[in-house]
Chains A and B, each alone.
Chain A
């Protein structure tokens, strides 16, 4: 079974600064998919970024980027130029390719608070 661990329950960052959220996972699979989801106070879950394990290049989406270290089973999220609207809970999630019907394994989440 896979486990996803987010070791930082809460992080605070000032506007315009950079924050990095950590995520580690445990799997015996060689190929898999990793995701970061954002859940703002509205509770709406929003996909931020995804990474395919067979791709060496780290995914980026505007101010969001990941540092994927396959050997270390680490998948951190960097938020650059933080904005007040980035205040949210962030969840790391894992999916096996054999779970093509979409079973996501979520971590416990990291609360990010962006302060003026």
Chain B
């Protein structure tokens, strides 16, 4: 099992460019999440997908869109990147609802917007 995989690991963009961060999990989990991590702020939830076919906004959704392509894959799109979106992005997945289910995280994508 690879767990949660993310591509790319690193990316540099210019302001205004667009890109999609890819996430896939092989654990047959229902729920998937996108977080961003900024220095001194911990992780903040951008979007989540409780199950295939559904997506909802988290704490900081502005400037992002997501697609739950199928049960395995959950992508995050930046339509017009801004320097404020420079961050480390983490994808996570979870078996389903219920507090006992642990979230498993991917290795992260470090994004720099110039």
A residues sitting closer than 8 Å to B (CB atoms) are: 4, 9, 33, 42-47, 52, 91, 93, 95, 97, 100-104, 106-109
Contact = CB atoms under 8 A, between A and B. Distances in A.
Given A44-B105, A47-B103, A106 B42 contact: yes
A104 B99 CA distance: 10
B17 to A, nearest CB: 24
A43 B36 CA distance: 12
Contact of B99 (A33, A45, A91): A33
A70 B107 CA distance: 33
Contact of A109 (B33, B42, B107): B42
Contacts of A91: 42-43
Contacts of B53: none
B61 to A, nearest CB: 13
A4 to B, nearest CB: 7
Contacts of A33: 99
A103 B103 CA distance: 10
B35 to A, nearest CB: 8
Contact of A101 (B41, B44, B48, B108): B48
A100 B101 CA distance: 9
Nearest to A47: B102
B48 to A, nearest CB: 7
B102 A4 contact: no
Contact of B58 (A42, A43, A103): A103
Residue with the greatest number of chain A CB neighbours at <10 A, chosen from B33, B43, B103: B43
Contacts of B48: 101-103
Contacts of A47: 102-103
Interface string B18-42: 0000000000000101000000111
Given A43-B108, A45-B90, A102 B103 contact: yes
B60 interface: no
9 contacts: A43-B88, A45-B92, A52-B99, A91-B43, A100-B97, A102-B94, A106-B42, A106-B44, A108-B42
B45 interface: yes
Contacts of B99: 33, 52, 95, 97, 100
